Amino acid sequence: MKKKIYFLVFLVLLIGTLFILLKSGRGIKEVPCNYSQNNCPRGFTCSVLTAEHPSRCIKIPEAKDFLIRFPFSPDHPVKCQQGNRVWGRSHHHDNILFAVDLHSLPNESAGNIFAAADGIAHVFDDCSFRGSSHDVKNDNPCPNGTGYGNHVRILHQDGYMTLYAHLSKVLIKHKAKVKAGDLIGVEGASGRAGIRHLHFGVHKLHASIRDKILAQPGWTGQSVPFSMKIKYSDRTEPEVISSENIRWEDTFDSPYIYGIWDTP
């Protein structure tokens, strides 16, 4: 009789544990997926981790809890040429999954880049070499050894960080305090950029490894969704848009994007 009771208790505990894991997303974290199709369960997205596990469903992390300012000035039109996978090919690794690539139009000058929120700037400005990779072991001419090139990371409240990569110039000092809207750099093509653009993303840094990530130019932490206020050139009204849903395509055709700097 006791054996049956012990077995039933064990079975209940096992089922409860499996339910919690599935609820948290851990239970299906390694489910394989097809990156070209949206075949993950609701609340999950397809992401690439390693060559051994080329793609699997991961739980979409919690979105940034405050609206951030668009990193270009409101009078400077840009084109989003890479964004979330909902619109097709995209950034697909965990650390850039919800980032966007914002390009000034070919007939426009390089855009000035502005802080998206208040915080402390961490500057990596000694990597102007174009085409540098993440491999620092093979006489890489980039001292930082990072594909982000010249870049700024701004640490915000609650361990969130914004990333501004591929800059041609960095215009602030390391560990400077910045306010939303402060000028921090100029759009460029340093690092593994291909053509001139700003790689922009929001990351969540866990406290246990925050200092290590901020000190290493190739580390960014988990990419998370974020929201900005923008206006598309083919629409009359501005809107608050998530990086999960921003419209993008690999051309310079309209519609273009204008940042809106007032609060919603």
CATH number at residue 143: 2.70.70.10
Whole-angstrom distance, CA of residue 100 vs CA of residue 197: 10
* Residue 100 domain-assigned (yes or no): yes
* Residue 8 domain-assigned (yes or no): yes
Instruction: Please give the pLDDT value at position 65.
Output: 58
53 and 96 co-located in one domain: no
Phi-psi bin for 210: left (phi > 0), alpha (psi -120 to 50), beta? alpha
163 and 196 co-located in one domain: yes
Domain with 36 in it: 2-59
pLDDT tens sequence across 156-187: 988 899 999 999 999 999 999 999 999 999 99
Top-confidence residue, 122 or 3: 122
Top-confidence residue, 158 or 59: 158
Instruction: Please give the pLDDT value at position 141.
Output: 45
Top-confidence residue, 142 or 176: 176
pLDDT-derived band at 115, boundaries 50, 70, 90: very high
Instruction: Please give the pLDDT value at position 30.
Output: 56
Max Cα–Cα distance, the chain, nearest Å? 82
* Residue 73 domain-assigned (yes or no): no
149 and 237 co-located in one domain: yes
* Residue 69 domain-assigned (yes or no): no
Instruction: Please give the pLDDT value at position 112.
Output: 98
15 and 82 co-located in one domain: no
- Using the Cα atoms of residue 193, residue 186, residue 257 and residue 261 in order, give the sign of their dihedral: positive
* Residue 72 domain-assigned (yes or no): no
Mean pLDDT (the chain) is 76
Q: What is the pTM of this model?
A: 0.75
Instruction: Please give the pLDDT value at position 125.
Output: 83
113 and 183 co-located in one domain: yes
Instruction: Please give the pLDDT value at position 214.
Output: 79
Residue 33 has pLDDT above 90, yes or no: no
* Residue 68 domain-assigned (yes or no): no
Counted domains in the chain: 2
203 and 230 co-located in one domain: yes
